[in-house]
């Protein structure tokens, strides 16, 4: 816990030193919210049949999609980005010399990003509720929290595996960009996957973002309890165990390969 706090303090101090970037990031989020507002205004308040099971409000549908995808993106990209940054800034070797496991360092290094992500998630919902008039009165916060944690764990696995690839291959931004687009397309972020052709819908079931978003929308917009979300929770749990296990195994293998080839701190 103390170590996690040390990493958090370090990253907070570094972020504070880049005040302009911090402000630009905040403005970016506000612009994103404004954009969603006008998209919602264009679509209008009428209930869309494709979104009926989520309450029918397009803006609410998209807002939750964007908010959760933001957390998913942090899980996917944060670990690899931390490794890459430590390689290029030269701090990786010094950190690796400490008596702490690399996986612990990796997880602790991402806490600040998760903290910001949680703030953004809350901001999206708060602004959605207070300014855009999205009703969250029926929201089941317990279910939403469980879905949120499972989603983060699930994508954390892929993110850690990704960090292993970055450790060995050094550059991987392009591949990560492709992954992000696949998520947007097949994850049901901006539109329900039920509008996709049947065979793509089957493929989309393999993307864990699908059940995650479905569960989160049901929990926040329809107030579903854990019993009603049982299938989604089981599906996300299986995804989490498999992906987290694969991520940790893959990352450890990458570290061993890096130590063997001497490329651990190269960039």
Q: Which residues are near other proteins by CB under 8 A?
A: 2-3, 5-7, 9-10, 13-14, 17-18, 89-91, 93-101, 105, 256, 259-262, 264-265
Decide whether 27 or 100 has the Cβ nearer to other proteins: 100
Decide whether 99 or 137 has the Cβ nearer to other proteins: 99
Question: Which has the closest alpha carbon to 177: 167, 189, 162?
Answer: 162
DSSP class of residue 68?
A: H
Question: What are residue 150's phi and psi, to 5 degrees?
Answer: -65, -40
Provide, rounded to whole angstroms, the least separation between the CB of residue 23 and other proteins. 16
Provide, rounded to whole angstroms, the least separation between the CB of residue 264 and other proteins. 6
Decide whether 228 or 265 has the Cβ nearer to other proteins: 265
Decide whether 164 or 215 has the Cβ nearer to other proteins: 164
Q: What CA–CA distances, in Å, run from 100 to 13, 86, 92, 95, 211?
A: 22, 15, 12, 8, 35
Provide, rounded to whole angstroms, the least separation between the CB of residue 22 and other proteins. 12
Provide, rounded to whole angstroms, the least separation between the CB of residue 118 and other proteins. 23
Structure tokens at 236: 């996300």
Q: Cα–Cα distance between 217 and 120 in angstroms, integer?
A: 17
Contact 162, 79 (CB under 8 A): yes
Decide whether 100 or 203 has the Cβ nearer to other proteins: 100
Provide, rounded to whole angstroms, the least separation between the CB of residue 257 and other proteins. 9
Q: Helix, strand or coil for residue 139? A: coil
Contact 161, 246 (CB under 8 A): yes
Question: What are residue 99's phi and psi, to 5 degrees?
Answer: -80, 50
Name the residue with tokens 């039920």.
194
Provide, rounded to whole angstroms, the least separation between the CB of residue 99 and other proteins. 4
DSSP string, 153-176: HHHHHHHHHHHHHHHHHS--HHHH
Decide whether 98 or 230 has the Cβ nearer to other proteins: 98
Q: Cα–Cα distance between 1 and 4 in angstroms, integer?
A: 5
């Amino acid at each position: 816990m103390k170590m996690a706090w040390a990493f958090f303090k370090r990253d907070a101090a570094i972020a504070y030193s880049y005040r302009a970037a911090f402000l630009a990031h905040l403005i970016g989020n506000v612009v994103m919210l404004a954009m969603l507002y006008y998209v919602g205004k264009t679509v209008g308040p009428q209930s869309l049949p494709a979104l009926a099971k989520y309450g029918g409000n397009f803006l609410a549908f998209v807002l939750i999609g964007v908010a959760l995808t933001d957390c998913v993106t942090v899980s996917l990209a944060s670990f690899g980005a931390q490794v890459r940054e430590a390689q290029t800034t030269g701090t990786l070797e010094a950190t690796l010399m400490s008596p702490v496991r690399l996986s612990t360092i990796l997880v602790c290094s991402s806490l600040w990003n998760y903290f910001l992500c949680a703030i953004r998630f809350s901001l999206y919902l708060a602004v959605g509720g207070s300014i855009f008039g999205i009703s969250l009165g029926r929201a089941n916060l317990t279910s939403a929290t469980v879905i949120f944690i499972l989603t983060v764990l699930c994508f954390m696995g892929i993110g850690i595996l990704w960090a292993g690839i970055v450790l060995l291959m050094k550059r991987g931004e392009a591949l990560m960009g492709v992954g992000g687009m696949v998520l947007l397309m097949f994850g049901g972020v901006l539109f329900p996957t039920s509008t996709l052709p049947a065979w793509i819908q089957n493929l989309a079931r393999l993307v864990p973002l699908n059940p995650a978003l479905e569960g989160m929308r049901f929990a926040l917009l329809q107030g579903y309890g854990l019993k009603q979300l049982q299938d989604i929770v089981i599906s996300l749990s299986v995804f989490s165990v498999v992906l987290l296990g694969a991520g940790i195994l893959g990352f450890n293998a990458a570290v061993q390969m890096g130590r063997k080839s001497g490329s651990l701190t190269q960039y």
